[in-house]
Structure 1
Amino acid sequence: MDAGMISAPFCSAESFRGVGRESDASAGATPATTGARSETEAHRRLKRLALIWAQAQGYSACALEVRLPRCHYRVDLAAYRPNRNGAACTAAFECKQALVDLRRDNGASEIIRQRLQQLYSRRQLLESKLRIHYPQLRIPDSLFTEFDSHDFAAIGHRGYTRVTRELSALQHRLFDGTKFEKLIRYRCANLFYLVLPNELFRSSEIPLDWGVLIESDGVLTLARKPLWHDSAAEIGVHLLERIAAAGTRNLNRQFDIQLAQPERLRAG
């Protein structure tokens, strides 16, 4: 399991400040062009910080704007980390700079958010009690026991199952489309992170199983640990290939290389 999932709170902030901080002006909504796509400086800033954070956690292969395997969705950042035992860890990052990016729309969203907060508090209470009464549910997947995961679904607790299902259904209504849910369902990567400004973080509105990196003063901090998702080894290889392809496209743009006839070039 991924020890890097818990390391961010214990990393030195100075290791990120020197390379991650940008001027205050970059946090504004000034449009910038990346390739054929227009985005704000605030969004670019979050992607840059996510790239720095991922490499600090040992992800040696990273690329922006990568289409994930097994689905048609593109993520802001994809990362690949080889492990010594031959297995690999893959991660997908989505950066959201504003509530309108995170939520589907504003219709009845306030009522949904209030109910989400109630359900989230209920789930937190149930989990605290289940940890006490069912210590065998703990999964030793972290360096520090207080960050270990728990398989609460294993015992089939009716109340917990009901709360979790309603949470998932309401989040599905609130969030922008079904992208977050489908990335988890298709197991396009092992770990999934949302990257948000600090003022945007609300625990009850974070999709199930997603981790959260919050930005404050030019530093990313792990606010919520993601849930690990097993995926076939070939999925990791496919993602690594797509990361490499995205990196190559970026280099071509930087050097103004245009391959009009790639098939002929390969044949030669």
Structure 2
Amino acid sequence: MKNIINKIGVFALACLAFTSCESEDDNTGDSVINYSPATVTLSSSSPTMFDESAINADDASTFQIEITATLASAQPVDAVIDLVKSGGTASSSDYEAHTITIPAGSLTGSATVDILQTGDIEGSETLQITGKSRANFNVTPYTFSATIENDYINDQLELTLSWDGAASDGDVTIDSFCDIDFDLILYDGAFGYLGYVLGSSACPEHDFLSGLPDGTYYLVTDLWSNPYSGLGFTDTIPVTLSWDQEFFDNSGSLSTDAYTLSSADGLGGLIVVLEVANGYNYTLSAF
């Protein structure tokens, strides 16, 4: 009996020890082994001066800060380093910072900070970028300092001329007014002809206007051709000029019902006054 009691006691102690170890793992889900944090070093050979007005989508890499992260020895887990602003006068709309990942087993990784066009009048700005680890990695103190000069000011006024519709008279139905061709002509303040702003056969017409000296101008619709003019329809054609300017709170539209399906031609059905100031401030209003 004594031997049986001893065996039961040993078994109970073994179960207690096993349960204790298993419980610790279940509570944390993590290894109980502690690793010393590895150190990540940041570096960059990117330029420190950026011309915002020269940024273009065809050569975006020219306007990026590329930062590389390096480990002295490979690690069993990914090293994830966020590139973040640490100082400077640039706002969050002036740049887009990405994240460096050094994959497990690798020594290096890199990511970019993209310099963006904002269309704002801000003057010269500064930007300081550093790295911040998401996990058990030390980041050697590092700051990349850049300057953003020459504000990009958007002087492109986006114009859209639309006129689609449908009509029916007896057995004749017009499914779309897009077979009609409208254009838009630009005149100076004395109504001197300057040229077509919208002059294709597209429906709707769409293009950009820019580069005008300060002053007063007129945008005038022109009915170039109408294959329905002899069919006797009297329905009006809804002609609308819409505009928008990216980075500026400048959008709107003006419409006219001066044209009908019986119109053979028509210059001046819609006249819009265009005021240009500072080379990029546009004001449009009804004539």
Query: What TM-score do the two structures reach when normalised by structure 1?
Result: 0.19
Query: What TM-score do the two structures reach when normalised by structure 2?
Result: 0.18
Which structure shows the bigger proportion of residues in helix conformation?
1
Which structure shows the bigger proportion of residues in strand conformation?
2
